Chains A and B, each alone.
Chain A
Amino acid sequence: MPVRTPHFPDLLFGSAARLRRWEAALMGLLAAQGYRELHPSLVLREAIPDGALRFFDGDDLVALRWDFTVALAGLLARGFSSPPDRVAYAGAVFRRPVQPWEAVERFEVGCERIQPEGESSAEADVELARLLMAIPGALGLKSAILHLGHAALVRRPLEAEGLFGGLADEVVAALSRRAPHRVREVLKGHPSAARLTAHAEAVLSELDGPGTLDALSVSPYAHLLEGEREQMDRALKALLPILPANLELRVDLADVAGLGFYTGPTLRLWAPGAQQELAAGGRYDRLFPDLGRPWQAAGFCVRLSRLLDLAETRPDLFEPLP
């Protein structure tokens, strides 16, 4: 349920300067890797969801830009016969908050890696992970944690059991709470209850350490998920040797946030002690085909508003300003 009294924070001198500095640093980092900026219109006239900030322009219902990825996808699908391979964006999105601490106006910087369908996506996924690994340094974060997940680790077992709709949503909600006992409660009496509960216990058993991927071997769906496990193993082998000293890399087998959107590897950036993730992304190969374009895509978004809040409440997590 949306929060009834959303807040619209103003950025005063220090925060405003920090926002400009961070935007410049991150866009510079992305530009150096070949990501070119696109700036979709602030006003959207189609596919307006309930959570958007909506108003009437004459007789037309319009909304303020509520998500860069969706806005960019519309722009690219309409305006390009073949996609640019790397795009970046910076600016504000506007959404009705779900949690009371969320602001309506949120500043973001992000990027998208787009390819024609059928091309190997493994290199693109690693490229994005490497870029995200450079973000904490560009922001002056003293240390950070990168969580690597995979949307298919939960989706494929659900699909294999023929679980869709409300019941699947309840299982995903239980996993989001990291509560295998809730999975058991939700599926009580369902033929897949024992298998999916065992899978939930397997994916929730570890959060870090070298044996994390081994947890999948005790899942009843270990065979089904062999490809995803190999994909994650390859990504870890590519990323661990180049891990910056201030960054930890952890595997999160039970990452289900955005499961309806993501289709492959997922990435989430945390800082020790932060209450919310600071950046998030992953592979979302269904987005462009749903718009009639045979393209696959992945990307991530750095949530600058959350970082500004963190810099106010936990300045000890950041390097001193020059």
Chain B
Amino acid sequence: MTTSTLLIAFPKGRLGDELVPKLAGTPLALDVEALKSRVLRIPTATPGVAVLLLKGADLPRYVAAGVASLGIVGSDTLDEMDMDLLELADLGFGACRLSLCAQTGVTLDALRAKPHLRLATKFPRATEAWLTREGLTAELVPLSSSAELAPLLGLADAIVDLVQTGSTLRAHGLVETAVLGASSARLVAARGAYLSEPGRIRPLAQLLVTLLRMDP
């Protein structure tokens, strides 16, 4: 492991699409040419600082292991994984709801009344916590993508998924029947790097907060 380059882990996908443009023209702007390529380690405008582009579900592992000193990831992912890392700030952007969604016309009471409720989700931990709070039991169908298809094709009665604008739900004839929680982008840090090298890590963390934080 080299000590010369500080690595920041950025998520691919929805959150990354929101994040990268915010840094354009700043000291942490990503190298445009590298970004167009298939390279996953992207230099920034600051020498000695590079960005790793990672799948959100993998990102906390890279940070917890100290491979990346800092990272940006949705709080929904953090809540599911419970990794040992520091969560330095709620950056406010990427806000969305974790919701129970079913086909139009299916109510929460109808779902409650089902003797064998099946819920498809990428978020089993949050779903289990909600079921416990509600005093319900259900069969969880773990999925890693395209959960919206599950109720349409009979794989599940409803889904628990992230909802930002609701357009994907509407396109599949689904509606939110309950909101389980909220999610937004969080700045995370490797515990070891932050506690053993605060002089290196804290200024970079502060810069990211300054550049990215939106009031929630």
Contact = CB atoms under 8 A, between A and B. Distances in A.
Interface in A125-168: 145, 147
B192 A274 contact: yes
B86 interface: yes
Contact of B196 (A99, A274, A313, A316): A274
Interface of B: 1, 3, 64-66, 84-90, 186, 189-198, 202
B192 A275 contact: yes
A99 B88 CA distance: 21
A274 B84 CA distance: 15
Interface of A: 99, 101, 145, 147, 177-179, 181-182, 207-208, 252, 268, 270-277, 313-314, 316
A273 B89 CA distance: 22
A245 B96 CA distance: 50
Pairs A-B, 5 closest by C-beta atoms: A275-B192, A275-B66, A179-B87, A270-B196, A181-B90
Contacts of A275: 65-66, 190-193
A178 B189 CA distance: 10
A178 B88 contact: yes
Contacts of A271: 196
Contact of B3 (A178, A252, A268, A273): A273
B192 A276 contact: yes
Nearest to A174: B87
B66 A178 contact: no
A147 B195 contact: yes
A316 B2 CA distance: 11
A140 to B, nearest CB: 17
B195 A313 contact: no
Contacts of B186: 179
Given A178-B86, A181-B89, A181-B90, A272 B65 contact: no
B53 to A, nearest CB: 22
A301 to B, nearest CB: 18
Contacts of B85: 177
A276 B191 CA distance: 8
Contacts of A207: 195, 198, 202
13 contacts: A101-B65, A177-B85, A179-B86, A179-B186, A182-B87, A207-B198, A208-B198, A274-B192, A275-B191, A276-B191, A277-B195, A313-B1, A314-B1
Which interface residue of B85, B90, B186, B196 has the most chain A CB atoms within 10 A? B196
Contact of B87 (A145, A177, A274, A313): A177
A40 B57 CA distance: 43
Contacts of B87: 177-179, 181-182
A99 B195 contact: no
